[in-house]
Amino acid sequence: MIKVQNISKKLGAKLVLDEVNFSLKKGGITAIIGANGAGKSTLLSLMARLLPLDCGQISFDDLDTGKTPSDVLAKKISILTQSNYISARLTVLQLVMFGRFPHHKGRPQKADHAHVAKILELMELDEIADRFIDQLSGGQQQRAYIAMILSQDSDYILLDEPLNNLDMKHARNIMQSLRKIADEMNKSIILVIHDINFAAAYSDLFIALKDGKIIVQGSVDEVMTEGNIELIYDMQVDIKTIDGKKHAFYYT
């Protein structure tokens, strides 16, 4: 279980998060939604210990992120940020194997190679595994970085805008893969995402931020109403159900 208790955060003079509290049971996909500047990425960075807490506490399965050693935490949570850059010239295979480091400590074993091979196939990267990262398109690079995070095999996977640089087809494939991982491997996936229709199609829960506060949270059906979406984004929408999934249609 994830517990986020009384989290506030200032960046400079600006209060970015203001007394954020929530808990999440293990498993499934939770989408953190909200307009630009709502505090979504800051919240995810605090959960991953990329930023120091000003106050409050965050724990994963009763492991306090402020007190747990990094090597222990690396087997519990993994994160993909929006800005990913590796200066070393690595192949896709080498990058994804790098994600296994908390397990193999630099000495990959047969089980590590087998796990990486499974992830490469899942992310449709097996045919370009020997290509260098800097030779790939933006979408292929994004899938490679996601594969690296998945190969870490942590219980909790934090993804900040994982659909960046992806066309509609590959964005759908990524979300389908994440759904499969959550369901079949009992992983907890928490992602920041702007495309609310992709989020609604594949997520279980929404946490909506506005001005650094949680203004609504719950199941997709509970949150995905015209009143809630208009409150979150300050714009008028129509919500329609198509093939059992809710979709937001924005007025221009």
* Average pLDDT for 168-172: 88
Confidence of residue 102 (pLDDT cuts 50, 70, 90): confident
What is the residue-averaged pLDDT of the chain?
Answer: 91
The rounded distance, in Å, linking the Cα atoms of 203 and 217 is: 13
Percent with pLDDT over 90 in the chain: 67
The rounded distance, in Å, linking the Cα atoms of 62 and 65 is: 9
Q: What is the pLDDT of residues 65-82, one digit of tens each?
A: 999 998 899 889 999 988
* Average pLDDT for 127-153: 90
Q: Which residues contact residue 14 at a Cβ distance below 8 angstroms, ignoring those fewer than 6 apart?
A: none
At 244 the pLDDT is 86
The yes-or-no verdict on residue 87 having pLDDT over 80 is no
Q: What is the pLDDT of residues 172-195, one digit of tens each?
A: 988 998 998 899 888 999 999 999
String of DSSP letters for the chain: -EEEEEEEEEETTEEEEEEEEEEE-SSEEEEEE-STTSSHHHHHHHHTTSS--SEEEEEETTEETTTS-HHHHTTTEEEE-S-----S--BHHHHHHHTTHHHHTT---HHHHHHHHHHHHHTT-GGGTTSBGGGS-HHHHHHHHHHHHHHT--SEEEEESTTTT--HHHHHHHHHHHHHHHHHS--EEEEE-S-HHHHHHH-SEEEEEETTEEEEEEEHHHH-SHHHHHHHHSS-EEEEEETTEEEEEE--
The rounded distance, in Å, linking the Cα atoms of 18 and 6 is: 8
The yes-or-no verdict on residue 252 having pLDDT over 70 is no
The yes-or-no verdict on residue 84 having pLDDT over 70 is no
At 82 the pLDDT is 81
The yes-or-no verdict on residue 250 having pLDDT over 90 is no
Percent with pLDDT over 70 in the chain: 98
Residue with tokens 């594949």: 202
What is the amino acid identity at position 42? T
* Average pLDDT for 90-103: 91
* Average pLDDT for 32-58: 95
By DSSP bridging, strand 213-219 and strand 77-80 are unpaired
At 85 the pLDDT is 63
Cα separations in angstroms, 109 against 92, 112, 246 = 18, 5, 44
What is the model's pTM?
Answer: 0.91
At 143 the pLDDT is 87
What is the amino acid identity at position 125? L
Q: How far apart are the first and last CA of the chain?
A: 40
